[in-house]
Amino acid sequence: MASKLNPYVNVLDGRAREAVEFYQSVLGGELSLMTFGDMGMEGPSASMVMHSMLETPAGFTLMVADAPPEMVEVTVGNNISISLSGDDAEQLRGWFDALAEGGTVAMPLEKQMWGDVFGALTDRFGINWMVNIAGDAAGAEG
């Protein structure tokens, strides 16, 4: 089996389930999820997501977990961006628009000097996304 690099996103405020289910609604795919309670933990963190994995039809694997403050220190900021790229302009535009719902678009999808259409946003969970539509597929539309 070849090696893979998978983004692993820690979400604050107990919103990992909401976040990964949102990403599934945008990207599709099969979701597996386990809570801290599934591993025997009791108390307020028991219902929080210890680990989830979304495997999409496009071949992406995205992992998302809650970050209980007593276990994980997370600083929200520009320390991670997830990049989606390819030549299926319609699909990539759809993902961009869906991820932007409730979030903030930093750079709208527009034709760039390198010939591709590129955009950047922060979703409603504070995760940065970049979308790049390659060359000819980008077309003249921006």
Give mean pLDDT in consecutive 10-residue pieces for the chain, a chain of 142 residues: 79 92 98 94 91 95 88 72 92 97 97 94 93 74 49
The predicted structure's pLDDT at residue 140: 46
Domain that holds residue 19: 8-66
The predicted structure's pLDDT at residue 13: 86
Q: Which of 38, 100, 101 is nearest to 66 (CA)?
A: 38
- Choose one of 66, 92, 112: the last residue of a domain: 66
Determine, yes or no, domain membership for 38. Answer: yes
Q: Which residues contact 108 (CB under 8 A, 6 or more apart)?
A: 119
The predicted structure's pLDDT at residue 1: 61
Same domain, 15 and 60: yes
Burial 31-54 (b: 16+ CB within 10 A, else e): bebebbeeeeeeeebeebbbbbbb
The predicted structure's pLDDT at residue 3: 64
Determine, yes or no, domain membership for 100. Answer: yes
The predicted structure's pLDDT at residue 79: 63
Token pair for residue 110?
A: 């527009």
Residue identified by tokens 């390198």 is 114
- pTM recorded for the entire structure: 0.81
Determine, yes or no, domain membership for 71. Answer: no
Q: Which residues contact 38 (CB under 8 A, 6 or more apart)?
A: 50
